[in-house]
Each structure stands twice: as structure tokens, then as C-alpha cells.
Amino acid sequence: MIKKQIIPLIILLLFLTLTCSGCDNNLSLSNITYNVSGNVSDINGVGLKNVILNFASQVSTQTTEDGYYQITGLTGEISITPVLDGYSFEPNTITVNQKQNNVDFIGQKDNHLPQKYTFNIVNEYPHDIEAFTQGLYYEKDILYEGTGLYGQSDMRKVDLETGEILDIYKLDNQYFGEGITILNEKVYQSTWKSNIMFIYDKDLNLIKKTKFPFHCWGLTDDNVHLIMSDGTSLIRYIDPNKYEVSKEIEVTINNEPINNINELEYIDGKIYANIWQSNTIIIINPHKKKVDGIIDLNGLINPHLYQHELNVLNGIAYDPDGNRLFVTGKLWPKLFEIELIPK
Ligand SMILES: [Ca+2]
């Protein structure tokens, strides 16, 4: 009699055990060995040790001395949350469906303040003292430079080494040239207040003038969007075909807006921006909507070298192959290649 009661009970227990092995929708430790691994670092790329990574809060692992972590035996959709005192992280959700799955994390120090930089001059090059620099872009030893002021605005190609003007397109007197960039093999030159964008080929033959719905100051691109400033704290990502806003970032430090954002350069996923009428370039992290760095360029040029009143720092260009950063100013006699030194 007792045996008759026990056998169905054992069958029921076996059934429950078998069916419950797949109960968890978010995470299952499967027989197939899938790895999730990656690095956890601070914004300067330094690995953070002892970071606890919670995987859907069911299992966890910890980073090693150099910030590396790995966990084995996961599958399905998994959310990962790193935890370390003094740092904040954005959690990440991934679908683990291959042998190696890589997820990196960058920890933002709580009460994060931007890294400050000073500079070393690596090279000096001649710069036209008549060029009221509004936009600067580097490609293959050539600088593309857009200049401003009514009656003096132009778009030019300049030999980096000699400063020789190789090509020039002069704007009509009613246009005040602003930022430039090259996107999809076209040179874009924006203008101030006239709502016109000039578009050239790389020999500076004008392809067309188009209506542009913004008063642009600085211009750069991320290979997909035009990215513009307008003298406020706003950075706009613009669809280059429709001129519609894809994304907007308000640039702040400690929740205070940074105004007068001017010439721009997109470098390794970050936006370098001149602050008008200052010797400062800020490094904006567009993904975190934070300022990661502040470059102090005081002392870059000897003020006795020039006479003009409006000669502020303006002009950032980057050579991605040579990792060279170029800066100049309006009506400056020199253009500099600089390297950044953390303070
Ligand atoms: Ca630029």
C-alpha cells in the first residue's frame, strides 16, 4: 500500500525537476559553453580591478588586476551590471548566442570631473595671416580651410608643409563662411545667418548651394551625420540629405551648460570643440553626453606675433593615420601640431 503511494510521488518529483530546468527566461546555465568576457576600465582606458559584474543578478564574477573578466556557461538574453564603489556604469543587455561574447564597460567616476590637459608643440607650420579660420579639416597632407568675415570668406585647400594655397573658392560678399567638413567625398561649408550650405567636390568645384535650416558655427561629421554647433551649448547631429535633426546634445560640466561652442573635430568617437574667445578646447563624449576633457592652450602662440583683434583660437583638424592633432587660430601666422599632456 505504501509503495503504491510512493511511486507516483517519485514520478511527480522527477517531472517537476525536469520541467523546472528551463524555468528562467533571462538566464540559463546551459550545457553549451558560451563565454562572456571583456574589459572594465575608467575613461582613460585604465583597467579597474575588483569590479563585481552581476549577470541578471543570478551569477557574478569579478575583474582581475587589469580589469578583465570572463564568465562561462551562459546563454540567452542577459543583462550585465558592473558594481564598484566610487564609479557608475551603464548596464548592458546582450544576447549570448556564440562561443565568445565581448562586452566592455567604462566606469565614470562619481562626481566625474573632466580630465585637464596641457600640450606640447610637436610641429609648427605656416598659416595665412589673412585667413579668418572658421573651419579646418585634414586629408592627405592637405588642409581644407573655410574662412569667415563678410567680403573675405572663402573655401581653400592648403599645403600643410608650405602653407601654399592650392585651390580657393571665394564666397560672394553677402556670405560669412563658417564650419567645414568632408562627408561622403563632398566638402560642406556652412554659413552664418544666411541659412545656406555650400557643397563642393574635393577640387573645390561648387556642386550646389542648398538651404540649411540652422545658423551654423562649427561643423564636423561622424561619417554618417553632419555634426554642428551654433554658438550655444547645443550640438546637433544632422542628416546630410534632409537636414533634419537626428540627435541633440546639450554640453554641460557639472550640470552647467557650456556656451560658445565653435569649431569642431570628430576624433575617435569624441567631439573636440573650440570654445569661442578662449584658449580652451573641450572633449565631448557624445555617447555619455559628458565633457571628458578640457585642453588648456594658453601660451600656444606668442601674442606679440600678431596684431589683430579677433585672433582667437579656432581650428581643429586631425590626421587619423598619423594620429596628429592640428590647431590654429583666426588670422594666426602659425598652425601647430600638438600632443596632449594630462595635467
Ligand atoms: Ca575641424
Shared domain for 59 and 142, answered yes or no, is no
Q: Is the pLDDT confidence value at 20 over 60?
A: no
Residues 161 and 310 in one domain: yes
Give Dmax (Cα) for the chain. 110
For residue 24, the CA-to-ligand 1 centroid distance in Å is 51
Q: Which domain holds residue 61?
A: 24-109
Q: How far is the CA of 152 from the centre of ligand 1 (A)?
A: 19
CA-CA-CA-CA torsion sign (201, 205, 208, 213): positive
Which grid coordinates are listed for 205? 568645384
**Domain CATH code at residue 99:** 2.60.40.1120
Q: Is the pLDDT of residue 80 over 80?
A: yes
Choose the final residue of a domain: 81, 109, 137.
Answer: 109
Same domain flag for 98 and 119: no
Name the pairing type of β-strands 206-211 and 196-200.
antiparallel
Assess if residue 6 is contained within a domain: no
Domain count within the chain: 2
Cα 144 to averaged position of ligand 1 atoms, centre (Å): 9
Residues 266 and 332 placed together within one structural domain of the fold: yes
∠ CA 266-314-222 to the nearest 5 degrees? 15
In a domain, 2, yes or no: no
Ligand 1 centroid–CA 3 distance in Å is 85
- What does pLDDT average to over the chain? 88
Q: Examine the domain organization and report whether 207 and 314 are in the same domain.
A: yes
- Give distance in angstroms: CA of 239 to centre of ligand 1: 18
Q: How many whole angstroms separate alpha carbon 211 and alpha carbon 48?
A: 49
| pLDDT for the residue numbered 27 | 46
Is residue 15, in this structure, part of any structural domain at all?
Answer: no
CA 267 to ligand 1 centroid distance, Å: 10
Q: Distance from the CA of 316 to the center of ligand 1, in angstroms?
A: 4
Do 89 and 133 belong together in one domain?
no
Tell me which H or E stretch contains 120: strand 115-126
- Whether 79 and 121 map to the same domain: the answer is no
- Residue 15, pLDDT score: 46
Per the domain annotation, does 17 fall within a domain?
Answer: no
Q: Which range is least confidently modeled, 34-38, 136-140, 194-198? A: 34-38
Which residue among 109, 140, 157 closes a domain?
109
State whether 220 and 192 are in the same domain: yes
Quick one: pLDDT band at residue 307, thresholds 50, 70, 90?
Answer: low
Question: Model confidence over 81-121: pLDDT tens digits?
Answer: 898 877 888 888 888 888 788 899 999 887 667 999 999 99
Same domain, 65 and 168: no
Tell me, what's the pLDDT at 17? 45
Cβ atoms of 198 and 191 within 8 Å: the answer is: yes
Q: For residue range 220-259, what is the model confidence (pLDDT) as tens digits?
A: 999 999 999 999 999 999 999 999 999 999 998 877 899 9
Residue 10 is assigned to a structural domain of this protein:
no
pLDDT above 70 covers a percentage of the chain that reads 87
- Domain end marker among 73, 92, 109: 109
What distance in Å separates the CA atoms of residue 208 and residue 179, rounded to the nearest whole number?
A: 17
CA–CA separation, 309 and 334 (whole Å)? 16
C-alpha 87 – ligand 1 centre gap (Å): 33
| Ion ligand 1 — residues with CB < 5 Å | 136, 265, 316
Flag whether 198 is in a domain. Answer: yes
Is 9 inside any structural domain? no
Round to whole Å and give the CA distance between 245 and 261: 18
Judged by average pLDDT, the poorest of 100-109, 177-186, 215-224 is: 100-109
Q: Is residue 19 situated within a structural domain? A: no
Tell me the CA–centroid distance for residue 143 and ligand 1, in Å: 10
Q: How far is the CA of 126 from the centre of ligand 1 (A)?
A: 18
Please tell me the distance from the alpha carbon of residue 97 to that of residue 35, in angstroms, as a whole number.
Answer: 10
Asked whether the beta carbons of 179 and 169 are under 8 A apart, the reply is no
How far apart are the CA of 271 and the centre of ligand 1, in A?
Answer: 10
Assess whether pLDDT exceeds 90 at residue 136: yes
Q: Taking 70 as the threshold, does the pLDDT of residue 263 lie above it?
A: yes
Does 189 lie in the same domain as 271? yes
Query: Are both 271 and 304 inside the same structural domain?
Result: yes
pLDDT at 311: 80
CATH for 309: 2.120.10.30
pTM above threshold 0.95 = no
- Per-residue b/e over 21-48, b at no fewer than 16 CB within 10 Å? eeeeeebbeeeeebebebbbbbbeeeeb
What is the CA(158)–ligand 1 centre distance, in A?
A: 14
Confidence of residue 50 (pLDDT cuts 50, 70, 90): very high
Please give the Cα distance from 115 to 246 (Å, whole number): 29
Q: What is the dihedral of CA 283, 286, 288, 294, to 10 degrees?
A: 10
Cα distances from 155 to residues 170, 191, 200, 203, in angstroms, run 6, 11, 9, 11
- Say yes or no: 77 and 189 in one domain: no
Alpha helix (H) residue ranges in the chain: 2-20
Higher local confidence (pLDDT), 8 or 276: 276
